[in-house]
Chains A and B, each alone.
Chain A
Amino acid sequence: GQQVMQIPQYQHVQEGEDFTTYCNSSTTLSNIQWYKQRPGGHPVFLIQLVKSGEVKKQKRLTFQFGEAKKNSSLHITATQTTDVGTYFCAGLTTDSWGKFQFGAGTQVVVTP
């Protein structure tokens, strides 16, 4: 069955540094969404990528969807303490509408 792998599972970042989290799928995805879950909170939608090679930016966050639509990345520049939380990718295939497959998540800790 479809599997979405996400690395790293844990990322310790100094404030001001950049970091990247990666998602890889064993099958071609129709789209991928990214969510952020703050400690003690619930997942909050960040963005959706649909097109092959798509790149989207939200302020310091840059999201990419691979050409083969099997991988995606989230890059955060100049990390701030507000970036603390766990970032999940969630992939969907055309034969599984509604069944988002979540990656394991990258837990980000920011040191001032």
Chain B
Amino acid sequence: DTEVTQTPKHLVMGMTNKKSLKCEQHMGHRAMYWYKQKAKKPPELMFVYSYEKLSINESVPSRFSPECPNSSLLNLHLHALQPEDSALYLCASSQGLVLAGGAYEQYFGPGTRLTVT
């Protein structure tokens, strides 16, 4: 199984709502990532978890709160978002962060398309 799954596929939320995005992988990967992607732009790194610990936070506003309950699951909790937060949110995983002589390839999920009204 080389799949990363994400739910929901689409989400529309108001600025006062609280919602969560979910990501799951069963490849035994120990690094998981959240990216934000705007239309016709590259993925923009938000958070990286390594061995279930937050390793990188790219100065993301606190209205985005990541959580890694176990090695297979990654959540992104959303609260008081702004319309400009509307985007495709991609989850990715890789075997690890560091590989001698290179890096591990990232497997991306299909994404959650988020619209904030």
How many interface residues does chain A have, given as a range?
20 to 34
Q: Within the complex, what minimum Cβ distance (angstroms) separates A79 from chain B?
A: 21
Of B45, B101, B103, which contacts A97 at CB under 8 A? B103
B105 touches A102 (CB 8 A): no
Instruction: List the A residue with the shortest CB-CB distance to B48.
Output: A98
B98 touches A97 (CB 8 A): yes
Q: Within the complex, what minimum Cβ distance (angstroms) separates B116 from chain A?
A: 21
Query: What separation, in Å, do the CA atoms of A45 and B48 have in the docked complex?
Result: 18
Q: Within the complex, what minimum Cβ distance (angstroms) separates A108 from chain B?
A: 13
Q: Within the complex, what minimum Cβ distance (angstroms) separates A101 from chain B?
A: 8
Tell me whether A50 and B102 are in contact in the complex, defined as CB-CB below 8 angstroms, given that A45-B107, A98-B48, A99-B45 are known contacts: yes
Mask: chain B, 34-49; 1 = CB below 8 Å from A; 0 = not: 0000001111110010
B102 touches A45 (CB 8 A): no
- Chain B positions within 8 Å of A35 at CB level: 108
A98 touches B56 (CB 8 A): yes
Residues from 19 to 34 in B contacting A, C-beta threshold 8 Å: 31, 33
Q: Is A59 an interface residue (CB 8 A)?
A: no
Mask: chain A, 52-90; 1 = CB below 8 Å from B; 0 = not: 000000000000000000000000000000000000100
A-binding residues in B (CB < 8 A): 31, 33, 40-45, 48, 50, 55-56, 58, 90, 92, 97-98, 101-103, 105-111
